[in-house]
């Protein structure tokens, strides 16, 4: 597998979860000279009129497949950060998540698909909370 096959599989997951990149944005890129072995995803997935998921991945092909050596997924709702999860090898712990107050907690690895599912759940909870507040 090279990173373009990985990017294609990512596109399928996004379509299956009813999300879409910002129009006109090209989120996938290969590192020039890596011969399909390293690349990045960077952009935001539109979830609703108020919410989107920011996505960043650095991916590398190794002997056992494609690995996300860095990633960040953050849910933004009405301009505010509600939830985020990161793998940053320069931070301790490298795997951590953030709540809406930007408090940091250690966490386990999360797949992109699960992060997108989580993003929908966070957005859904926020919309229910706001609907309750409005009534």
Partner 1 sequence: MEKRYYTADGLRRSLDAFEERFGMSSEDFYAAYSAYDAERMVGISAFYRHSWASFFRDWRRLSGDDFAASVKRELELA
Note the residues at the interface with partner 1 (CB under 8 A).
4, 7-8, 11, 26, 28-33, 40, 42, 54, 56, 58, 70, 72, 74, 81, 84, 86, 88, 90, 98, 102
d(CA 66, CA 33): 17
Structure tokens that stand for 111 in this block:
């797949």
Which C-beta is closer to partner 1: that of 67 or that of 128? Answer: 67
CB of 80 to partner 1, least distance (A): 10
Which C-beta is closer to partner 1: that of 15 or that of 128? Answer: 15
Residue pair 41/10 in contact by the 8 Å Cβ criterion: yes
- Phi, psi for 123 (deg, rounded to 5): -65, -40
d(CA 17, CA 1): 23
CB of 91 to partner 1, least distance (A): 8
CB of 26 to partner 1, least distance (A): 5
């Amino acid at each position: 597998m090279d990173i373009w096959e990985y990017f294609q599989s990512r596109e399928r997951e996004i379509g299956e979860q009813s999300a879409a990149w910002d129009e006109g944005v090209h989120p996938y890129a290969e590192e020039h000279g890596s011969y399909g072995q390293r690349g990045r995803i960077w952009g935001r997935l539109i979830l609703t009129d108020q919410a989107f998921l920011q996505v960043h991945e650095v991916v590398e092909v190794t002997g056992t497949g494609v690995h996300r050596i860095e990633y960040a997924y953050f849910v933004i709702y009405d301009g505010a950060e509600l939830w985020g999860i990161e793998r940053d090898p320069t931070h301790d712990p490298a795997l951590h998540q953030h709540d809406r107050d930007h408090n940091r907690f250690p966490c386990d690895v999360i797949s992109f698909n699960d992060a997108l599912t989580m993003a929908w759940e966070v957005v859904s909870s926020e919309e229910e909370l706001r609907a309750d507040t409005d009534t």
